[in-house]
Amino acid sequence: MDSNILGWMKERLGLGSLLDHLIPGHANSPTYVIGGTVFILGVVQGVTGIIIQQFYHPMPDAGAAYSSVQFIIQNQLWNFVRNLHYWGAQLIIILLLFHMIRVYTSAAYKKPREMLWVSGVLLLILAWLLSFTGSVLKWDQEGVEALSHNLELASFTGPLGFWFSPSFAPDVPILVRLNSAHVTILPVLALLIVGLHVYLIRVQGISTPKIRANVPEQMVPFSTHVRKMVLYGSFALLLTAILSFSIPAPLSSIGNIQIEVSKPDWYLLWVYAIENYFGLQAVPYVMTPALILMLMVPALDRSDETDPRKRKLMVGLLVIAVVLFVGLTIDAALTPPVSHLG
């Protein structure tokens, strides 16, 4: 019966060409399924986000936004959905970093897959922005401080920060616009880029280390990869559910925009450390080159070599970047909170 339904769907939806096309067997190893696991978690984020949005009130006045989050928390089911949404986002960010490190170490960004890398970097940025805007929406102390930093950063970037300026839409509170960014602009952009990413994987094929290029490798149907995606995605979802049951998503007291007493979430702590050392104004000067450097990786390493042992400079750069990220993160976590806003 199942196979009949699957057969019917394959025929009517043209899934045959998608599911039956052959991919190298190594693409089903765990490290090559991280991207697919993130995709599954992304779908869950969409569903949980839609549910939360039914009860969320994006108005900062009289604490409506904060009160609506409190309402969500007071309901056992919606609170669990909110926890799933929070932990899902945490897992997506860490898994995206793992995925990018795997792609980098296996040199999967090389010709002809440069645009796959670029679209992956853009997706990482979008995930970061989605998580950041999500943290602002709850309108607690951490949220309003994140927004204050964001607004002041935008003021440093001149015309580039016009969207965050109150004069852009004087009658619409910034929280409402950030909410629209979180639930429409950023997800639509993410969907478009995920589409491009998947299309490019289909067109360019899954990367194969050069060591295997001259050795015949067993080819398997893409449907086996989909099964692995669902399997690992289910594991990730189970982990998310366990975390959601055990550790509630954070919500502190209602935000007081005039004080600075909290720290950002872990994936932004490195930025917080830069603010500690160089001030808030330094952040664009650090993030912009870092972003350009990430996007330029395929252009910087254009040889055919995929062996990490022969790509010492590139692997060295990766280790330096990770050590810097980790070092700054730990530094910011262990030092007392300080004021950065002028």
Partner 1 sequence: MVIEKSGPLVFLLLSLLLIAIPSTSVRMANAHVGEGGGWLLSSYVSGDLTSLPNPSSAQWKEARMMMLEGVDIQPTSVMTVHNETYIVFLIQRVINNSVDRAGALIAFEGVGVNKSDVVWAWVGGKNVSPREQGVSSDYALTGGELTVVFGRALNSTTSAIALSVGKPYDDFVKITSWSTGVKLDSIDLDSLVHLNFELLPHLNVYPTAPLGYSALLLAVTLGFVWEESRKYR
Smallest distance, partner 1 to C-beta of residue 62, A: 13
DSSP conformational letter for 20: S
Smallest distance, partner 1 to C-beta of residue 157, A: 13
Smallest distance, partner 1 to C-beta of residue 211, A: 5
Give CA angle at 138 (237, 249), nearest 5°: 35
Smallest distance, partner 1 to C-beta of residue 225, A: 19
**CA 240 and chain centroid, separation:** 15
* Spatial distance between the Cα atoms of 244 and 266, rounded to a whole number of angstroms: 18
* Per-position DSSP letters for 46-95, written without gaps between them: HHHHHHHHTT-----GGGHHHHHHHHHHHSHHHHHHHHHHHHHHHHHHHH
Closer CB to partner 1, 146 or 254, in the complex:
254
Smallest distance, partner 1 to C-beta of residue 254, A: 6
Check if the beta carbon of residue 336 is closer than 8 Å to that of residue 274. no
Closer CB to partner 1, 119 or 141, in the complex:
141
Q: Of the candidates 158, 337, 174, 163, which has an alpha carbon nearest to the alpha carbon of residue 261?
A: 337
Residues 6+ apart with CB under 8 A from 163: 154, 177
The token pair that represents 88 in the structure block: 């899902």
What amino acid is encoded at 58 in this protein?
A: P
- Strands of the chain, DSSP E: 22-24, 219-221
Smallest distance, partner 1 to C-beta of residue 13, A: 36
Rounded-to-10 torsion of CA 32, 38, 39, 43: 160
Distances (CA, A) of 27 to 36, 196, 231, 298: 11, 19, 14, 21
Q: If DSSP codes are grouped into helix, strand and coil, which group holds residue 278?
A: helix
Smallest distance, partner 1 to C-beta of residue 267, A: 8
DSSP conformational letter for 132: H
Smallest distance, partner 1 to C-beta of residue 186, A: 22
* Binding interface with partner 1 (CB under 8 A): 31, 94, 97-98, 101-102, 105-106, 141, 209, 211-212, 250, 252-254, 256, 258-263, 266-267, 269, 275-282, 285-286, 288-290, 292-293, 296, 299-302, 307-309, 313-315, 317-319, 322-323, 325-326, 329-330, 332-334, 336-340, 342
Rg over alpha carbons for the chain, rounded to the nearest Å, is 22
Closer CB to partner 1, 188 or 213, in the complex:
213
Smallest distance, partner 1 to C-beta of residue 81, A: 22
* Spatial distance between the Cα atoms of 125 and 122, rounded to a whole number of angstroms: 5
* Spatial distance between the Cα atoms of 256 and 341, rounded to a whole number of angstroms: 14
Closer CB to partner 1, 64 or 286, in the complex:
286
